[in-house]
Structure 1
Amino acid sequence: MDNANTMWSFLSAVGLMNKLEKSAPAAERKEEVKDKRKMVRKLYPNSDLFKKWGDDLSEEEQKEAEQLFQRYGYNAFLSDRLPLNREIPDTRPPRCAVKNYLKDLPTISVVLIYLDEALSIIKRAIRSIVDKTPARLLQEIILVDDHSSNGESACFQNNFQTVDRPGLVKKVRHSEQLGLTQARLSGWKAAEGEVIAILDAHIEVHVQWAEPLLARIKEDRTVILTPVFDKVKYDDLTLSPYNTASHGFDWAMWCMYESFRPEWYALNDETQPGKSPSVMGILVADCKFFGEIGSLDGGMKIYGGENVELGIRVWLCGGSIEVVPCSKIAHIERAVKPYLPDLSVTMKRNALRVAEVWLDEYKYNVNIAWNLPLEVRREAAPVYLCFCWQMINDLKPELCVDQGPMPGNTPILYGCHFYSTQHCFYRSDGQLYIGGIKSHKYNSNRCLVDPFSGLYPGLYNCKIAKQKDFNMLWDFKQVNISCCEASKFDETHLLESTKYHEIIADY
């Protein structure tokens, strides 16, 4: 017995030594690779692409990846190396997975619109739709190319077909760039399915994405639907889920996420569709009803505003809009939109068009939101004045009132950029709104308040400030009460609330 144990110990030791001898070179090779990676020079240390990705790339690979990133606004280098049918996590509410849907659902035409898109991105979108949509429901996939100029997507023909579905993928190409709205309209006009889904081409659909949409439209053909988005990060193309929310909009006619109405939360069922004022852009509708309400406004240029205009029109013309939590689509969020770096011009133009057509006596709010010249505001809206313009006019022309860092409630003076954090509204009753204003009754608008304590005024929920009877009514006359002035503390321009200081200007 002792001899057997001795022999076994000897053999085990020999085996262990062999393993160590074999593993040693492998470990050394790993260290060599690691050392080589450390030696690779970072060519683009300030690029958004390489902040969290790309440590293992050679210099040549870095050059290629950065070039593609500048062209597309996302990591096309990585996309080209990922499988078209890659797995993405199921982020639906758990109850969605056990829902059953009728077999007899309407057919769907899926429209993918694009301009200068990476070919692998388009192919992955098509692959996911084919794989995750029941064949009996998928009428067609229509690619709408808004006059791409790069070689890949411009030359992409109907060469992506399934063996058993020839002709499934169709293509429409514009002879000139017509913009987002016209591309969507071209897809709708070419569609033959009972329901149309208008999507971006830089998406991947989740499992069972179509059934909840088609089932809801079968119940009510007058409802316009939108799935819930997951964000695909532009650098490493990993997926990050968004919270389920409705799609509201501000006075600049820009879509934003808003909470559902309290009635939705009272249902205690996160699979139920929720009412929404508008859509972010991706929409699903009964094809005929979409035409009956006027489809999309063809007068919109390039980008922005068309989705808000649709939302207003749908609700005013007998339809409704809902977000469907059990339908999910993963959408790449670009770092930039290379085809039009400055979108502000067309966004402003489209927003003013919406205001002129639909908003009647409320359209002046859109003028204010886009920081039009003061004389235009005074003519259009005598009730509202742009307080931030008046303040900085006598102080420093390059500074604007800003809501300050969030979370937080300390307003500051900051370099003017005119986005929503610097939108200021002065009401005739003396309330001063800073950081944008929303009109629905569940709003969280914030007013400038002197809370009776501390040196600095703060931003508080207007309703709460009123209930607590805070000092929140401001005037432009120097009187023997608290005044608002600018001070400088820790290299940051702040607003100061004090009793006998010089105010910014004597109105």
Structure 2
Amino acid sequence: MEASLIELKDIYFFSSQFLTAAACMGKYVVQNCLDFFLVCVSAETPLKDGEEAASSSDSAADPASSLFNHWGRDLGPESRRVALKKFRYFGYNGYLSDRISLTRPIPDLRPDGCRNMSYSSDLPQLSVIFIFVNEALSVLLRSVHTVIQRTPSYLLKEIILVDDNSNMELKEHLQSFVDETNAQHGPGFVKVVRHAKQEGLIRSRVSGWRVATAPVVALFDAHVEFNTGWAEPILQRIKEDRTRVVSPSFDNIKYDTFEIEEYPLSAQGFDWELWCRYLNPPKSWWMLRNHTAPIRSPALIGCFVVDRKYFEEIGLLDEGMEIYGGENVELGIRVRRISAPEDVRNLCCMVPSGKVSCSHCHCLN
């Protein structure tokens, strides 16, 4: 079958080859192949608690809806309709997220041995950059709260929030949080970059980098939760060699129950269609018999940490790219090409000791 080009405003990519689904921002042109499915996302505004629900024909009444397979069976009809409206809008259980603590405890899933590792006392400071558009407020705030709570204060210089033209309601609620946080931690601790129009994922990351001032920048989506000790092993790798581009080890936040699901340690790469994939670590890593050792990786999927000036030296991300995931492949290839053939130090790598959980949007029924 001949592949066709389809242009959509808001889309989700899904593949039987993927372990996760990736939420896309902005307007993208994507290749429609047999292995991939495109699901349009409703552009309607999510209902607030207490708002009038949709008609009785709404599929929220259907207990077979994927949102209610493992959660919410004890909810009344009104609450179910509100929950499903938010699920349709965000792609995850925003209703449940609003009822979970912003600093909830999560399991420490680091490999054995990571808890006893020691690091330099003079690690470089971090600027943590979150990018988002119309993210659920509770999910966004949980990302920020956990990075503050679980990063040593002497390492976290600032947090940069890149708002890719979200709705006014989110902007107002977020500004109140920013003002309160800066009153507690000092002026400029949380900075907000607001786009006048939607720029998309790649240009949003570069916008955050331009505002950052710490020696190291960490670029993340705004639907993550940081685990204990996530930063130190990553910063240690970059301190040893500033040309390393490093990813934390990711686990999954289940879209419906918000439970943490441990993912196996893996490298991050891409297939012949240039789609990002999780890969089995190379044989050389297994032969070390040390699960705390960094895993060399051909590419990095989405979120990564890099020396701020080195990132500029290698050209940042290609702001002309419009397709989600292309920047990950291109960055991996570029980092590999600038290395001398005998020098593999500055390849991308994943650090098992640095654990971050990520919420992945889910296909809607």
TM-score by length of 1: 0.57
2:78 is aligned to 60
For 2:96, give the aligned amino acid: L
2:239 matches 1:239: no
**1:161 aligned counterpart, secondary structure:** helix
For 1:289, give the aligned amino acid: Y
**155, 179, 198: which one aligns with 1:159:** 179
**292, 295, 299: which one aligns with 1:274:** 295
For 1:224, give the aligned amino acid: V
1:212 is aligned to 233
* CA offsets 1:301-357 (integer angstroms, 9 cap, x no match): 1523111111111110123111100001000011149xxxxxxxxxxxxxxxxxxxx
Offset of residue 160 of structure 1: 4.7
Offset of residue 102 of structure 1: 1.3
In 2, distance between residues paired with 1:336 and 1:147?
24
2:123 is aligned to 105
Offset of residue 262 of structure 1: 1.0
CA contact (8 A) 2:302 2:325 kept: no
Q: Superposed, which structure 2 residues align to 1:91-490 within 5 Å?
A: 91-149=109-167, 151-153=169-171, 156-157=174-175, 158-161=178-181, 163-301=184-322, 303-318=324-339, 319-336=346-363
For 1:110, give the aligned amino acid: V
Q: Which runs of 4+ in 1 moved over 4 A?
A: none
TM-score by length of 2: 0.79
In 2, distance between residues paired with 1:300 and 1:292?
19
Runs of at least 5 residues in structure 2 that lack an aligned partner in the other structure: 1-58, 340-345
Offset of residue 87 of structure 1: 0.4
In 2, distance between residues paired with 1:123 and 1:299?
30
- How large is the Cα RMSD of the aligned pairs? 1.6
Runs of at least 5 residues in structure 1 that lack an aligned partner in the other structure: 1-40, 338-507
CA contact (8 A) 1:253 1:305 kept: yes
For 1:264, give the aligned amino acid: W
For 1:328, give the aligned amino acid: K
More helix by share: 1
In 2, distance between residues paired with 1:249 and 1:150?
37
In 2, distance between residues paired with 1:74 and 1:238?
12
**2:144 aligned counterpart, secondary structure:** helix
Bigger-Rg structure (1/2): 1
For 2:201, give the aligned amino acid: L
Q: How many residue pairs were aligned?
A: 297
* CA offsets 1:454-485 (integer angstroms, 9 cap, x no match): xxxxxxxxxxxxxxxxxxxxxxxxxxxxxxxx
1:83 is aligned to 101
* CA offsets 1:362-384 (integer angstroms, 9 cap, x no match): xxxxxxxxxxxxxxxxxxxxxxx
2:9 is aligned to none
Offset of residue 151 of structure 1: 2.4
* CA offsets 1:26-80 (integer angstroms, 9 cap, x no match): xxxxxxxxxxxxxxx9713232211111011111111111111111010111111
2:31 is aligned to none
Offset of residue 218 of structure 1: 0.3
